[in-house]
Amino acid sequence: MTRLVRGEIRKLFTTKLWLWLLLGAFAITAIFMSFTIGFDGTEGNPNPSLSTETGQRNLFAVAGSAGVFVLILGIIGITGEFRHQTVTPTFLATPHRGRVVISKLVTYALAGIGYGVAVVLLAIAIALPWVSARDIDLSLTENGIPGTLAGVVAGVAVYALLGVGLGALIRNQIAAIVGALVYLFIVEGFVSALPTIRDYYKYFPGGANSALVGAQQPGVTLLEPWQGGLLLVAYGLVFATAGTWIAVRRDVS
């Protein structure tokens, strides 16, 4: 299994995809943080102020948006094998296909931790100088911020699992990516906004992720961070198990 994981890591780093998606993760983190800090305290902004505990936690929680790029990384990590037909040599080298899926889950979870740490470092590098320049006290060790930062890393890593699981389930790369994005940005948006339905938002992947990073949205109740984290891992494993179950049975032709 170590050899398989090392092989997957090698696949990941012998194309440039990881770099482009890391730049994307940096860009979305930088943009969202700039908006959060830049519009802080302006009239009509419903979000909690940066001088509050919640406001500070929410600021760092936006780094969790980078998870969408890791989700795409995970999806391409497995659907790319089908798109470029490298799945044939991959399954020839490892006829027990479940082991291939497991090694991808491990590899992309590790990569997700790397991305998570990278965006957290970027978030800190943006927030500390900018927020203190506005005369707001910001300490990384207070106001539950350590928990939020750990939650961002965990959440981003779990999105990689979700991506691999989803990719195993939906082998068509475009369909898997478009489906995931439509779900995240449209379906989850509706669910969190509609009365009655939004009571269940906490059980959706987006809600679980919000809980994990300790973010709060007006009018939405969330699970405890650890519950959110476990729920996200469960989603990833359910997708991956279903995807594996299908991958083992489907013909490769």
Partner 1 sequence: MTTEEGRIEVSGLTKTFGTVKAVDNLSFSVPTGTITGFLGPNGAGKTTTLRCLLGLVGPNGGTATIGGRAYRDLARPAETVGAMLEASSFHPARTGRNHLRVYCTVNGFPDRRADDVLDLVGLGKAANQRVRGYSMGMRQRLGLAAALLGDPRVLILDEPANGLDPEGIAWLRRFLRTMAEQGRTVLVSSHVLSEVEQTVDNVVIINRGSLVRQGTISELADHHGHSVIVRGPELDRLAGVLPAEIEVERRDGALRVSGLTTEEVGHLAFVERIELHELTTERGDLEDIFFALTADAGPVDHFGGTP
By the criterion CB under 8 A, which residues form the site for partner 1?
A: 3-4, 6-7, 10-11, 14-17, 80, 84-96, 249, 251-253
Q: How far is CA 251 from CA 97, 228, 234, 247, in A?
A: 12, 36, 27, 8
Distance, CA of 168 to CA of 79 (rounded, Å): 7
- Would you say 99 or 134 has its CB closer to partner 1? 99
Distance, CA of 219 to CA of 132 (rounded, Å): 30
- Would you say 30 or 246 has its CB closer to partner 1? 246
Smallest gap from residue 188 Cβ to partner 1 (A): 32
Using an 8 Å Cβ cutoff, are 128 and 138 in contact?
yes
Smallest gap from residue 88 Cβ to partner 1 (A): 5
Smallest gap from residue 10 Cβ to partner 1 (A): 5
DSSP string, 27-42: HHHHHHHHHHHHTTT-
Measure the CA angle with vertex 41, ends 40 and 42; round to 5°.
Answer: 95
- Would you say 6 or 134 has its CB closer to partner 1? 6
Using an 8 Å Cβ cutoff, are 228 and 208 in contact?
yes
- Taking the CA atoms of residue 22, residue 24, residue 27 and residue 33 in that order, the dihedral angle to the nearest 10 degrees is -80
Smallest gap from residue 165 Cβ to partner 1 (A): 21
Dmax over CA atoms of the chain, in Å, equals 63
Smallest gap from residue 97 Cβ to partner 1 (A): 9
- Would you say 90 or 209 has its CB closer to partner 1? 90
